Amino acid sequence: MSFGYGPAHDRQEMISVLRSAVARGVTFFDTAEVYGPFTNEELVGEALAPFRGQVAIATKFGFQLHEDGKPGFVGPDSRPERIRTVAEASLKRLRVDAIDLFYQHRVDPNVPIEDVAGAVKDLIQAGKVKHFGLSEAGVKTIRRAHAVQQVTALQSEYSLWWRRPEEEVMPVLQELGIGFVPYSPLGKGFLTGKIDESTSFDSTDFRNILPRFTPEARKANQALVVLLGEIAARRNATSAQIALAWLLGQKPWIVPIPGTTKLHRLEENIGAAAIELSADELTQIESAASNVKILGDRYPEQIEKMTGL
């Protein structure tokens, strides 16, 4: 709504979409200080102010931002003093007394994860944060953090076209009782079937820099979209709904966070929760997807290095 996918959208329209989400039963919202920066937290804070106690808001720390306020970040920064500063500022922007879920946005190689977890533990004991989360962390980091402060949720990319978490991360989450929050569950829009090699993105859309979104990759990766479309047609659903239903069918402790700026897409995404794929359908998707070779890395190398996977 504020960052990453082209120009920020009209604030009042986005407030309307967010409040419509609550009216339709959505209770979990995701933001971060770096989105904007700051403007998305302010938007979420204003939109959800009437619903205190009815919704949970997750936000994130972990980046050093540009001093002039321009989009993006300088690099990772999870020093304990920085975490405390971010928490206080996020509380004000979100208009809450406590942050429901406070994620480390990316692992900081310069700060031991024990120090990070300890800083969040202090915030929890002070009543300013309710739950601690990690994002894109690997299994060793998850275990070390969890030993200091219980990790409630891990947010990482996961969808039919990015399945790396299945290899090592998800078994550890199940073992430790940590929830999984997949971001980009629709492959940054690709799995909806609305993007092909001829699609043009706004100059400020970060998909322009992603190897997986080059025209050549988009053309090659259409095979996965065709598969989803075939199943969707049989179920009288959309490709996006089948992609989300597949995620929901993997584990009961998965809560995907599809993003949108449009009310009709919000309603479409919500509709996925009512679609229960059969064991046969899940097997069919698994079998067909295993024959689709996805072309292109998901991030440029310098960004991928910031993940713990």
Q: How far is CA 282 from CA 120, 171, 238, 252, in A?
A: 38, 19, 16, 15
- For 150, the 3-state DSSP assignment is coil
Strands 75-76 and 63-64: antiparallel
- For 188, the 3-state DSSP assignment is coil
Q: What local confidence, expressed as pLDDT, does residue 138 receive? A: 97
When pLDDT is cut at 50, 70 and 90, the band that residue 257 belongs to is: very high
Q: What local confidence, expressed as pLDDT, does residue 305 receive? A: 86
Q: What local confidence, expressed as pLDDT, does residue 288 receive? A: 87
**pLDDT tens digits, one per residue of 102-151:** 999 999 999 999 999 999 999 999 999 999 999 999 999 999 999 999 99
Spatial CA neighbour of 179 closest among 161, 156, 202? 156
Across 172-195, average pLDDT: 97
Helix (H) or strand (E) holding 215: helix 215-220
Q: What local confidence, expressed as pLDDT, does residue 309 receive? A: 56
- 23 token code pair: 């009216």
Q: Which amino acid is at 13?
A: E
| Catalytic residue numbers, as ranges | 35
Least confident of 155-159, 165-169, 222-226: 222-226
Across 292-300, average pLDDT: 93
- 182 token code pair: 């997949």
CATH class of 187-252+260-309: alpha beta
Domain with CATH 3.20.20.100 in the chain: 1-157, 187-252+260-309
Distance CA 192, CA 307 (A): 25
Owner of token pair 């050093």: 64
Distance CA 237, CA 248 (A): 15
Q: What local confidence, expressed as pLDDT, does residue 248 receive? A: 97
More confident residue, 59 or 284: 59
- 225 token code pair: 């979209």
1-157 under CATH 3.40.50.720, yes or no: no
More confident residue, 70 or 22: 22
As to burial, measured by CB atoms within 10 angstroms (0-12 exposed, 13-18 middle, 19+ buried), residue 184 is buried
Spatial CA neighbour of 74 closest among 101, 37, 48? 37
Across 72-78, average pLDDT: 93
Q: What local confidence, expressed as pLDDT, does residue 302 receive? A: 84
